[in-house]
């Protein structure tokens, strides 16, 4: 009840003041004019306190019963007053005003007739007075209450419209911003896949012909390579500017999501609690986009459709996946329908091999869980070399350049991830030089599988344009090197020898930015010291304890005064947080890790 009082508006306080004034009048009259009352002092005071308090309690416990309780208790109290203090029936008008405020189009007929006609008429009969004046005053009071009710509804509608307007304005602003960023990313990829690949192919191809060119033409070859290299550097600078146009997505995932929740709180007034659970790792920008959009849509739905006032957002960094969980205290819904918003979230997650689950029940809020497998971008290279690139010209040119060197054997080439895994199984290369962006099974998926199956195999990321976040992520997940395809052959040979000897190599053009990125990530991680690896709420721990005690869902619902469906909803969320599929696994995990 105290929580509801904190959310009162001015009209709630006006109604509360009317009720309190009425009680004050009764108490003062009982003290100042005891001779006018035919019962002991305490009887009428106690009755007035019950009439004052019980409807308030019912209003916040059983809202549907409130109006009937208000009318019945008020009416019978004044029938009682008509017997014991006939001169003190006029304050009844104050409570009639409150009844009028609480009445709606469905109820105003019976509440108006009861409080404006029936009870005043009965009071008139009991006090042996004509009831017309009292009926008029009560009916007038009821009309005032109804008018005030219309004013309140108008105020509520205006407030809702204002909130919706703010929410939609924020939503539109963020959509415009993300659309612009996505368009820039698309342009970056277009440049990468067209001009970037063409220039890289030209550089690598010309270098592969160097050994067959007469000495008199070497200077000309150098000039052609220099021109192509300069053009490629210019494109890299432009792409670097595009990718850093918005600082928000140069932040870590947790920073960008936290910034979104803070902006959302400022614009809507809704309380959003954000937590990071687990050790944060760098993720790809497209994965950040995906989860950012999912959180944005979930926050909007929680306020717009669920009328939520408090939202909890938990970001879990687990060994194999990211989990974003959004839980609100809104209205909830009985059945989940995947409209445009949820469908868009599901499609975005599926593009990242992720899943979406939504749990909700009427009156119990909604829980949205987004799971995305952690994938790190990577590539490979070595002495017994496997070259993986879906650009045939680049793969063939690299094979020709490296095969001409005494210390290198190219055991094979592959054009996609699946073929690369087959070649690794067959040839067991020392180093894999692998492109990140490929059709079909891409480089990052292949990288993770290679590291899992052949942990000692050395992997070098090979890409057209430098990306500090991509490089930091690749090194963090076990890559031995990050190399540009346009690296000069001599430098490439030295780098591969260093990697084969157990070292790590990073292209100098990006080294400074990578170290800055890794330092920034470490500083960010120091902000979080999670003491709860699973992020269980107090209620979830309570339910887990009852499960451990052997209680079934129905018994838990009875013990906690919840519906069985609500308990099932809590258990579903609990199992998801613990990473288990049933109660037995949850109990076993709780006992093994001393969660309880």
| CA proximity to 317, closest of 528, 497, 63, 68 | 528
Predicted pLDDT at 32? 79
Section 102-120 average pLDDT: 84
| Residue 321 β-bridge partners | 373
- Least confident range of 290-299, 521-530, 573-582: 521-530
Distance CA 456, CA 443 (A): 18
What is the CA angle 380-350-352, rounded to 5? 25
Neighbouring residues of 426: CB distance < 8 A, sequence distance ≥ 6: 412
For the ranges 66-70, 295-299, 313-317, the maximum mean pLDDT occurs at 313-317
Using 50, 70 and 90 to split pLDDT, how confident is the model at 534? low
Using 50, 70 and 90 to split pLDDT, how confident is the model at 523? low
- Tell me the average pLDDT of the chain: 76
| CA proximity to 131, closest of 111, 145, 116, 143 | 116
Section 215-240 average pLDDT: 69
Using 50, 70 and 90 to split pLDDT, how confident is the model at 264? confident
- In this structure, the number of other CB atoms found within 10 A of the CB of residue 184 comes to 16
The string of pLDDT tens digits covering residues 433-482 is: 888 777 777 677 788 788 778 887 888 888 776 666 667 667 766 788 88
How many C-alpha atoms does 365 have within 13 Å on its Cβ side? 17
Token digits for 512? 């400074």
Predicted pLDDT at 508? 63
Token digits for 61? 């416990």
pLDDT of residue 375 exceeding 50, the answer is no
Predicted pLDDT at 241? 55
Using 50, 70 and 90 to split pLDDT, how confident is the model at 315? very high
Predicted pLDDT at 313? 93
pTM assigned to the model = 0.36
Alpha carbon of 524 to those of 279, 517, 529: distances in Å?
Answer: 10, 10, 11
- In this structure, the number of other CB atoms found within 10 A of the CB of residue 362 comes to 13
Using 50, 70 and 90 to split pLDDT, how confident is the model at 7? low
**Residue 328 in 3-state DSSP?**
strand
């Amino acid at each position: 009840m105290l929580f509801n009082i904190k959310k009162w508006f001015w009209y709630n306080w006006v109604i509360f003041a009317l009720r309190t004034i009425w009680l004050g009048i009764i108490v003062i009259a009982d003290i100042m004019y005891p001779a006018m009352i035919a019962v002991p002092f305490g009887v009428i005071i106690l009755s007035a306190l019950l009439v004052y308090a019980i409807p308030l309690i019912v209003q916040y416990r059983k809202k549907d019963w409130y109006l009937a309780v208000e009318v019945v208790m008020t009416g019978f109290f004044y029938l009682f007053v008509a017997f014991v203090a006939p001169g003190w029936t006029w304050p009844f008008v104050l409570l009639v005003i409150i009844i009028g405020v609480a009445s709606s189009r469905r109820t105003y007929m019976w509440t108006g007739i009861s409080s404006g006609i029936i009870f005043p008429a009965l009071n008139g009969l009991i006090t042996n007075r004509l009831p017309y004046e009292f009926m008029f005053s009560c009916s007038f009071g009821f009309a005032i209450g109804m008018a005030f009710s219309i004013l309140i509804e108008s105020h509520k509608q205006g407030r809702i419209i204002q909130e919706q307007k703010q929410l939609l304005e924020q939503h539109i602003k963020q959509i415009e911003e993300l659309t612009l960023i996505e368009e820039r990313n698309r342009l970056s990829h277009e440049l990468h896949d067209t001009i970037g690949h063409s220039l890289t192919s030209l550089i690598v191809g010309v270098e592969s012909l160097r050994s067959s060119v007469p000495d008199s033409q070497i200077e000309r070859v150098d000039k052609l390579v220099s021109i192509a290299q300069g053009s490629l550097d210019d494109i890299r600078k432009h792409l670097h500017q595009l990718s850093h146009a918005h600082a928000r997505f140069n932040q870590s995932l947790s920073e960008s999501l936290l910034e979104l929740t803070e902006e959302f709180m400022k614009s809507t007034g809704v309380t959003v609690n954000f937590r990071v659970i687990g050790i944060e790792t760098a993720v790809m920008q497209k994965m950040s986009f995906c989860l950012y959009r999912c959180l944005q849509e979930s926050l909007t739905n929680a306020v717009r459709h669920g009328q939520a006032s408090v939202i909890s957002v938990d970001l879990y960094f687990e060994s194999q996946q990211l989990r974003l969980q959004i839980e609100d205290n809104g209205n909830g819904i009985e059945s989940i329908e995947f409209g445009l918003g949820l469908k868009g979230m599901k499609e975005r997650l599926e593009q990242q091999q992720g899943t979406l689950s939504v749990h909700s029940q009427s009156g119990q809020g909604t829980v949205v869980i987004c799971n995305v497998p952690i994938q790190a971008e990577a590539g490979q290279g070595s002495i017994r070399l496997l070259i993986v690139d879906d650009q045939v010209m680049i793969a063939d040119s690299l094979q020709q350049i490296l095969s001409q060197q005494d210390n290198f054997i190219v055991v094979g080439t592959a054009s996609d991830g699946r073929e690369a895994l087959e070649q690794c199984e067959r040839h067991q290369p020392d180093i894999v030089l692998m492109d990140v962006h490929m059709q079909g099974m891409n480089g990052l998926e292949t990288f993770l599988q290679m590291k899992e199956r052949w942990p000692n195999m050395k992997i070098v990321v090979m890409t057209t344009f430098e990306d500090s976040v991509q490089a930091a992520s690749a090194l963090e997940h076990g890559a031995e090197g990050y190399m540009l395809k346009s690296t000069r052959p001599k430098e490439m040979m030295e780098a591969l020898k260093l990697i084969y000897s157990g070292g790590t190599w990073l292209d100098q053009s990006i080294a400074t930015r990578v170290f800055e990125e890794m330092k920034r990530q470490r500083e960010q991680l120091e902000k979080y010291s999670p003491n709860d690896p699973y992020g269980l709420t107090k209620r979830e721990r309570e339910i887990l304890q009852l499960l451990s005690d052997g209680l079934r869902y129905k018994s838990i619902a009875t013990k906690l005064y919840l519906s069985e469906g609500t308990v099932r909803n809590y258990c579903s969320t609990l199992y998801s947080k613990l990473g288990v599929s049933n109660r037995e696994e949850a109990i076993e995990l709780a006992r093994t890790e001393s969660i309880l």
